[in-house]
Amino acid sequence: MVRAAVLPAVGAPVEITEIDLPDPGPGQVRVRLAAAGVCHSDLSLSNGTLRVPVPAVLGHEGAGTVVAVGEGVTHVSPGAGVVLNWAPSCGGCHACSLGEVWLCANAMNGAADVHARTADGRDLHPGLNVAAFAEETVVSAACVLPVPDGVPLTDAALLGCAVLTGYGAVHHSAQVEPGETVAVFGAGGVGLATLQAARIAGASKIVAVDVSPEKEELARAAGATDYVVASDDTAREIRALTGKQGVDVAVECVGRATTIRTAWDSTRRGGRTTVVGIGGKDQQVTFNALEIFHWGRTLSGCVYGNSDPAKDLPELAEHVRAGRLDLGALVTDRIALEGIPAAFENMLAGKGGRALVTF
C-alpha cells in the first residue's frame, strides 16, 4: 500500500488515502516519486474542465527512482532516476508520422486503464497517465525518460510539464528570435518557465503580466524586464513600453478568454500570440473579420510546448548545467501530499509560482 491523492469524483475534494498498487507488468515501470509539481491542469481535472475517468490518482509532473521493471523494459533499470512523461507518443498515428508527437492521437489512452485500487477495492485510473501524486506509481515504459546528468532529481520533476511547456512555447511555437519583444501573461509555474525561456532566447524586452502585484519579484528574477499588473489598460500599457507598437510575441499561460484577447491586442501589427493556458469550452474569444485582415496577427494553440520530450530534455539539461535555466526558482512552496488542496486554492487565488510535493 502507498499513499496517494485521489480524486473520487469530478468536483469533489481530493482525498489523501492509501491505495493498492500492483507490481509492474510487461512493458511497465514502477517508480518511487521524489517530487511532483502541482499544475493547473490537475486543478482542471478536479473541476471537470479536462475530462478523465474517475476515481483517479492525480498528478502528471514528476520525477523519481525506478524500483522495478516489467518484462521487456530495457531503457531503464532499478535505481535509475527518471522524469515522468504524461503524454507519450505512439509513433504510429497521423500526427506522429508528421513529427508532431505532442498531438499524438493515442497519448491519453492509458488514462482509461485501471491503475490501482483503493483499500476497499474500488478501481482507480491514472489521471494523466502517470498518477504522480503518490509515493509510488506504475506507468508504461513509454512514460519514463532518464533524468539527464547534472539535474537534481527533485528539480527534474519540473521538466515533466512546466518547463517543457514554457520553453517549448517560446522556442517551438512562437519561435522567438534574439532581439524580439515578448509579453508573458500569467506568472505561475508555466509562466515563470516561459519568462526564463524568453530570456534564454535573447528577447530584448520581456513584459510579465499578472493579476498579483506580489509576483513582480518572482517574475523579474525569472527574466522579466518590465512588470504589468493586469487591468483593462494592460494592452495600452504594453504598447507604451514598446514604442506604441506592441510586442512581437505574446504567450498566454492563463486560459481565459479575456486574457487571450488582451494578449492578442498587446502584439504589434504582424505579431504572434501563442496560447498555452487551458480554458473551458464556455470561454469564447471573439474577433471581427476586419481586424484579422488589418492587424495581420497570428494566433496559435500550443500543446505541451509543441515539444518532443526525448529530444528536448537533453537541451534543457544543458541550460540547467550552464546556469541559464534555474529550476528551483520556479518553486515557491514545497509541500506534502496533504498540501495539495491548499495549493489548488492558491492557484485559484492567483498566488505563488509552482508548488512542489516532495516525498
- Span 177-231, pLDDT tens digits: 999 999 999 999 999 999 999 999 999 999 999 999 999 999 999 999 999 999 9
Q: Is residue 158 part of a domain?
A: no
Does the residue 316 lie in any domain? no
Quick check: 61 and 158 in contact, CB under 8 A?
yes
Residue environment code for 228-264, b if the CB has 16+ CB neighbours within 10 A, otherwise e: bbbeeebbebbbebbeeebbbbbbbbbbbeebbbbbb
Query: What DSSP state is assigned to residue 98?
Result: T
Q: What distance in Å separates the CA atoms of residue 30 and residue 21, rounded to the nearest whole number?
A: 9
Q: What is the tens place of the pLDDT at every residue in 20-63?
A: 999 999 999 999 999 999 998 898 888 888 888 999 999 999 99
Is 174 found in the same domain as 143? no
Residue 183 lies in a domain: yes
- What range does the domain containing 267 cover? 166-303
Are residue 290 and residue 346 in the same domain, yes or no?
Answer: no
d(CA 210, CA 191): 9
Q: What is the pLDDT of residues 121-131, one digit of tens each?
A: 999 999 999 99
Same domain, 137 and 221: no
In a domain? residue 309: no
Strand partners, 3: 18
Domain at 252, CATH number = 3.40.50.720
Co-location of 139 and 14 in the same domain: yes
**Lookup result for grid cell 504589434:** 268
Does residue 152 have a cis peptide bond before it, meaning omega lies within 30 degrees of 0? no
Q: Are residues 174 and 253 in the same domain?
A: yes
Residues comprising the chain, all counted: 359
Whether 259 and 228 have beta carbons less than 8 Å apart is answered as no
Q: Is a pLDDT exceeding 90 seen at residue 284?
A: yes
Q: Are 96 and 190 part of one and the same domain?
A: no
Do 142 and 170 share a domain, yes or no? Answer: no
Q: Is residue 11 pLDDT above 90, yes or no?
A: no
CATH number at residue 99: 3.90.180.10
Whole-angstrom CA distances from 102 to 33, 144, 166, 299 are 24, 16, 14, 18
pLDDT above 90: percentage of residues in the chain: 91
The reply to whether 275 and 336 lie within a common domain is: no
pLDDT over threshold 90, residue 268: yes
132 and 51 within one domain: yes
Q: Does residue 160 lie in a domain region? A: no
Residues 20 and 116 reside in one and the same domain: yes
166: closest CA among 36, 329, 46?
329
pLDDT of residue 278: 92
Three-state SS for 113-150 is: CCCEEECCCCEEEECCCCCCCECEEEEEHHHEEECCCC
Shared domain for 181 and 78, answered yes or no, is: no
Any idea what DSSP says for residue 102?
A: G
- Domain presence at residue 23: yes
Is 315 part of any domain?
no
Q: Does the pLDDT value for residue 120 go beyond 90?
A: no
Do 172 and 141 share a structural domain?
no
Would you say 113 and 143 are in contact if contact means Cβ atoms under 8 Å apart?
no
Number of H helices, E strands in the chain: 11, 18
Is pLDDT at 312 greater than 90 in this prediction?
Answer: yes
How many domains does the structure of the chain reveal? Answer: 2
Residue 314 lies in a domain: no
